[in-house]
Amino acid sequence: MRDAMLTALGWVEIAFEGETLTACRLTDAPAPAERTAFSARALREIGEYLAGERRTFDLPTAAAGTAFQQRVWAELRRIPYGGTATYGEIARRIGSPGAARAVGQACGRNPIWLVVPCHRVIGADGSLTGYEGGVDVKRRLLELEQGY
């Protein structure tokens, strides 16, 4: 099922199964809404996060991915609100020190951005590298968190 809401970043669309979030993305044309109590809760939490009122999410999630991607996504959730980590740091933390590029690819395939905060991953030189919603959105999210 899907639901969506308009935010300052544009339309945020979620996909969910029962009471589990399976995807979250920016879109120009959201699918017709299928509002449930869970989707209302998920969108409320996302709205609170984007308004600077929430630092963590309390949503059950399930994303399809390889074992490597799952390890990366689990590690992304450990980056604290307002913090950052490099692709290389994430690779070392998951026991694959030479896999910084693969970490970047896993971040790019993260279907639950915001909730699984791939925007907190930056280049080794501190640069803001690619992001699902674009580097401008990544910058805005990091600025939001650092202004708390």
Sign of CA dihedral 125, 55, 141, 38: positive
Reply yes or no on whether 107 is catalytic: no
Q: H helices of the chain, where?
A: 37-50, 67-76, 87-93, 100-108, 135-146
* Residue tagged active-site, from 118, 121, 142, 144: 118
99, with CB counted inside 10 A (0-12, 13-18, 19+), is: buried
Residues belonging to the active site: 118
